[in-house]
């Protein structure tokens, strides 16, 4: 049973990558009213025959486990051994282990991890490699959990939370792999243009930057900047996309505006920004320069980039929340260990 769960865990990022690729292709072909990519892929599959296409699908499904395993290795390399492992890149998208070490230590008493013993203090010294610190914390926590909960409930909880943290981290890589594969597929069939690639890179990057700046925006009473950027871009998509029928545009706007009213009804700053944005969109709709710009946009890539940005927010924030629960469990256990120790 344990071996089966390990196979499933290794396979999740790979299957996430395959599902993401399929989703972006479906969005590109239907939701954006641009069937060129679907027709090109359909033509390529038809030329190979039905059974070859079925075999390819089976191979892709079976490849989820090895692809997921590779994604896990990349994830752990970035987390522990890469040039970004210490201080991260656009945290919380990729938080540094050195930063996590400092935050972990600040929440504990000076001798909580060492007990005043010299050999422990040497391993916990900030001058040491942060990997040594975490290599020490791992068996120390095992000792703590065994002392406060011999039945193993606490360590089972830690194992579960760690699995979720790592699965979410590797699955983020899987989603981006699916997105990059989608863009390369469009490029292979000559269906993407330079301005489309700019949109494809710029919007997800903007989302990750805003996620990393969320604490700064919160101090200015402007929470959830990444979510709001995706929301406003989705509004612009609904207003300007010429492929949307009036019926589709109206329902798109109803859903988005209803979400804003429910979520931000007590945040007057966002309501004011929202009204200003809609007024600006309405005033730009009649401008000839805007019409010319809108006509040149790759709406399929824009929608795919918005979906990627939304998924990035969901996975990154869920991972942050799970890490917070894990850290709270570890610190609670350490405090209980110290209280029960002679």
125 part of a folded domain: yes
222 part of a folded domain: no
- pTM of the predicted model as reported, rounded to 2 decimal places: 0.86
Q: Which residues 6+ apart lie within 8 Å of 278 measured at CB?
A: 235
**Which tops the pLDDT comparison, 139 or 127?**
139
Percent of the chain with pLDDT over 90: 34
**Which tops the pLDDT comparison, 190 or 76?**
76
pLDDT number for residue 325 = 95
306 part of a folded domain: no
Give the residues across from 94 on adjacent strands: 89
**3 pLDDT exceeds 80?**
no
pLDDT number for residue 29 = 77
pLDDT number for residue 201 = 94
Q: CA 14, CA 156: separation in Å to the nearest integer? A: 25
Q: What is the pLDDT of residues 129-177, one digit of tens each?
A: 788 889 999 999 999 999 999 999 999 999 999 999 999 999 999 999 9
N- to C-terminal Cα separation, the chain: 40
Percent of the chain with pLDDT over 70: 73
Query: Which parts of 49-152 fold into alpha helices (H)?
Result: 50-62, 64-80, 97-106, 118-124, 130-148
Q: Which residues 6+ apart lie within 8 Å of 12 measured at CB?
A: 68, 167, 170, 171, 174
163 part of a folded domain: yes
Over residues 66-86, mean pLDDT: 92
Q: What is the pLDDT of residues 7-25, one digit of tens each?
A: 788 889 999 999 999 899 8
Number of domain units in the chain: 1
Which range is most confident: 44-53, 82-91, 116-125, 287-296?
Answer: 82-91
Q: pLDDT confidence of 320, banded at 50, 70, 90?
A: very high
Q: What is the pLDDT of residues 277-286, one digit of tens each?
A: 767 666 665 5
pLDDT number for residue 204 = 95
310 part of a folded domain: no
Over residues 60-78, mean pLDDT: 87
For strands 94-95 and 88-89, give the pairing.
antiparallel
Q: CA 232, CA 225: separation in Å to the nearest integer? A: 10
Q: pLDDT confidence of 114, banded at 50, 70, 90?
A: confident
Over residues 306-328, mean pLDDT: 95
Candidates 333, 337, 9, 320; CA nearest to 163 is: 9
**14 in Cβ contact with 65 (< 8 Å):** yes
263 part of a folded domain: no
233 part of a folded domain: no
Give the residues across from 95 on adjacent strands: 88
pLDDT number for residue 65 = 85
Q: pLDDT confidence of 221, banded at 50, 70, 90?
A: low
Residue-number span of the structural domain to which 123 is assigned = 2-192+331-340
**Number of C-alpha atoms within 13 angstroms, CB side, residue 89?**
7
Over residues 299-309, mean pLDDT: 91
28 part of a folded domain: yes
User: Dmax over Cα atoms in the chain, in whole Å?
Assistant: 79
Q: What is the pLDDT of residues 21-39, one digit of tens each?
A: 989 988 887 765 566 666 6
pLDDT number for residue 53 = 56
């Amino acid at each position: 049973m344990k071996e089966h769960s390990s196979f499933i865990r290794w396979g999740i990022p790979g299957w996430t990558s395959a599902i993401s690729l399929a989703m972006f292709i479906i969005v590109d072909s239907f939701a954006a009213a641009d069937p060129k990519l679907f027709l090109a892929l359909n033509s390529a599959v038809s030329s190979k025959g039905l059974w070859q296409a079925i075999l390819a699908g089976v191979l892709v499904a079976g490849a989820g486990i090895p692809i997921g395993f590779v994604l896990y290795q990349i994830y752990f390399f970035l987390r522990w051994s890469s040039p970004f492992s210490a201080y991260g890149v656009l945290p919380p998208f990729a938080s540094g282990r050195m930063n996590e070490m400092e935050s972990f230590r600040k929440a504990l008493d000076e001798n909580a991890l060492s007990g005043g013993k010299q050999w422990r203090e040497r391993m916990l010294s900030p001058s040491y490699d942060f990997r040594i610190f975490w290599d020490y914390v791992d068996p120390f926590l095992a000792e703590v959990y065994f002392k406060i909960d011999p039945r193993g409930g606490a360590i089972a909880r830690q194992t579960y939370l760690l699995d979720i943290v790592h699965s979410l981290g590797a699955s983020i890589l899987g989603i981006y792999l699916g997105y990059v594969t989608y863009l390369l597929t469009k490029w292979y069939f000559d269906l993407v243009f330079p301005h489309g690639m700019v949109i494809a890179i710029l919007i997800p990057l903007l989302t990750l930057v805003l996620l990393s700046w969320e604490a700064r925006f919160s101090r200015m009473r402007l929470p959830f900047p990444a979510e709001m950027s995706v929301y406003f871009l989705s509004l612009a998509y609904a207003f300007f996309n010429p492929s949307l029928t009036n019926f589709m545009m109206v329902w798109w706007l109803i859903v988005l505006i209803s979400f804003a009213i429910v979520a931000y009804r007590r945040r007057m700053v966002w309501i004011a920004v929202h009204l200003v944005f809609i007024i600006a969109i309405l005033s730009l709709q009649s401008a000839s320069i805007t019409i010319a710009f809108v006509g040149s946009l790759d709406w399929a890539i824009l929608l795919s980039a918005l979906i990627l940005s939304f998924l990035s927010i969901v996975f990154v924030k869920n991972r942050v929340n799970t890490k917070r629960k894990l850290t709270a469990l570890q610190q609670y256990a350490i405090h209980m260990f110290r209280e029960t120790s002679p």
